[in-house]
């Protein structure tokens, strides 16, 4: 049958236990036998993070390499597409799909604990609200950064204590604020006096973090254009908290998503110290510092050095034993867990380059190109039905058959639906072949739409390389 991958192509690359794990792949919505809780430490729901220091987790030692993980991801990709006959298949058979390696979370947690041992992460649900991902993150003992009633309810529905939620939206609607009170979410961020008045009326017992302005001009997605109080205004807010008898817990900042100037962390920590000192003079004993997000897996070592040094300088642990330092990490935990595969549904040849049309694009799971300013790098999964994933990993000698130039487009009728305008692929591809995108877990599926009638009916295959 046309464009089918032969299983004999894959097996030579899978050795020992990895080959055996092919039978352990679990599919979403159809297999409940494997839960991510099987490898993570037990939950500890009773801890109130607004009053007690963060827990000292022991994640154990992980011996799994990046390549071990990729071999398991490869087997999941292969098993999903190997029986598809492009000539007779249904639309659902070639729908875009993800492979999520939940084992990656443990490795990321170990790396974070090594680089920033004082920080307790609160996962930003807005980044990726995949249900299995959230459960696995909860089982690591981390908290959650929620920005709406719906996100709060999604976390609470998993029997996660509301004490592990920060309502990290400086501008909340009154119904959402009342709901936070009803479900006992007791920590939020604020950046203006009007919000303090609102909280005093509708949720007066809520703990408050004043969110301050940062210089995030070099970040991929700057946030200070919308949120953040200047130092002068933040001091006015501290005074207002005293007048209104509100529960001021600490200071929060966010250097922007995809931060590129890590010195911004140092300045923000210094400004926070100034406000801690001012609040203490007003009679407050603040004990929470929220360092926000902006972290990425591939730059954590560099950014953590600057942040760690700033924290040790302005908030030395010996002098601040009760200080709880939290972060609002989203991209760091979700991005590298997910691989997205999409099918080539059409092709158009031009003299200079060829156009490829996928069944996913910027209005679907690749909306990160517009929303998050990501530069995605498609790779060839199959060429003429031949499985090429391992060639991309360099597990065998690459015999590059082509260096054709392509532009790659999504399925809608909008000319804006361009995935990448120019790229050279090492293999020729045809209608029915597959491309894949690594690091596809941040700001992708969570914002997919049904524009032009192309519904985001994707599935996710879950594997666990730490199991």
Query: How far apart are alpha carbons 172 and 178 in whole angstroms?
Result: 10
Q: At 194, list the tokens.
A: 């009007």
**Which of 464, 466, 467 lies closest to 75, judged by CA?**
464
Q: How far apart are CA 179 and CA 450, in angstroms?
A: 29
Q: Do residues 152 and 178 touch, judged by C-beta distance below 8 A?
A: no
Report yes or no: 130 and 460 within 8 Å, Cβ to Cβ: yes
- The catalytically annotated residue of 127, 337, 413, 460 is 413
* 88 vs 142: CA distance, rounded Å: 46
- Cα distance between residue 134 and residue 71, in whole Å: 24
Classify residue 192 by its DSSP letter: S
How many degrees, rounded to 5, is the angle at CA 300 between CA 297 and CA 301? Answer: 130
Where are any strands of DSSP class E within 8-141?
Answer: 26-27, 97-101, 119-124
Instruction: Provide the sign of the torsion angle of the four alpha carbons 334, 144, 239, 172, taken in this order.
Output: positive
| Distance between CA atoms of residues 321 and 385, nearest Å | 60
List 252's β-bridge partners, or say none.
211, 290
In 162-262, which residue ranges form alpha helices assigned H by DSSP?
Answer: 174-182, 193-202, 231-244
Cross-strand pairs, 165: 144
Closest to 440 in 3D by CA, of 136, 223, 145, 133: 133
413 a catalytic residue:
yes
Contact of 241 with 285, CB cutoff 8 Å: no
CA 146/CA 90 separation, integer angstroms: 38
Place of tokens 């730490």: 466
Active site residues: 413
């Amino acid at each position: 049958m046309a464009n089918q991958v032969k299983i004999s192509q894959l097996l030579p690359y899978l050795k020992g236990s990895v080959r055996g794990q092919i039978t352990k792949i679990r599919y979403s919505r159809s297999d409940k036998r494997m839960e991510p809780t099987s490898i993570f430490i037990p939950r500890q729901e009773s801890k109130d993070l607004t009053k007690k220091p963060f827990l000292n987790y022991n994640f154990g030692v992980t011996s799994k390499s990046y390549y071990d993980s990729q071999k398991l991801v490869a087997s999941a990709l292969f098993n999903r597409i190997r029986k598809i006959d492009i000539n007779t298949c249904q639309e659902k058979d070639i729908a875009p799909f993800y492979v999520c390696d939940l084992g990656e979370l443990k490795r990321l947690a170990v790396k974070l604990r090594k680089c920033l041992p004082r920080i307790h992460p609160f996962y930003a649900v807005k980044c990726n609200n995949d249900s299995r991902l959230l459960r696995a993150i909860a089982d690591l003992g981390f908290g959650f950064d929620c920005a709406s009633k719906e996100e709060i309810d999604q976390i609470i529905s998993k029997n996660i204590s509301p004490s592990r939620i920060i309502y990290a939206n400086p501008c909340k609607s009154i119904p959402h604020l009342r709901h936070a009170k009803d479900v006992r979410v007791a920590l939020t961020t604020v950046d203006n006096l009007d919000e303090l008045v609102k909280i005093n009326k509708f949720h007066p017992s809520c703990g408050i973090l004043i969110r301050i302005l940062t210089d995030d001009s070099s970040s991929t997605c700057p946030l200070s254009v919308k949120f953040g109080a200047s130092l002068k205004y933040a001091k006015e807010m501290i005074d207002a908290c005293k007048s209104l008898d509100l529960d001021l817990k600490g200071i929060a900042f966010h250097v922007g998503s995809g931060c590129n100037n890590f010195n911004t962390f140092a300045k923000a920590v210094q400004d926070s110290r100034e406000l801690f000192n001012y609040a203490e003079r007003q009679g407050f004993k603040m004990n929470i510092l929220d360092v926000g997000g902006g972290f990425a897996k591939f730059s954590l070592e560099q950014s953590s050095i600057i942040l760690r040094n700033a924290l040790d300088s302005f908030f030395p642990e010996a002098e601040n034993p009760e200080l709880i330092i939290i972060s609002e990490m989203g991209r760091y935990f979700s991005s590298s867990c997910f691989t997205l595969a999409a099918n080539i549904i059409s092709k158009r040849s031009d003299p200079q380059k060829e156009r490829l049309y996928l069944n996913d694009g910027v209005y679907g799971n690749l909306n990160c190109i517009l929303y998050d300013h990501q530069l995605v790098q498609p790779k060839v999964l199959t060429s003429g039905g031949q499985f090429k994933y391992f060639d991309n990993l360099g597990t065998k000698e690459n015999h590059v058959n082509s260096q054709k130039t392509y532009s790659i487009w999504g399925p809608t009728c909008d000319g804006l639906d361009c995935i990448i305008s120019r790229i050279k692929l090492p293999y020729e591809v045809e209608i029915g072949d597959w491309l894949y995108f690594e690091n596809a877990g941040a700001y992708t599926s969570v914002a997919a739409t049904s524009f032009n009638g192309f519904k985001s009916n994707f599935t996710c295959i879950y594997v666990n390389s730490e199991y």
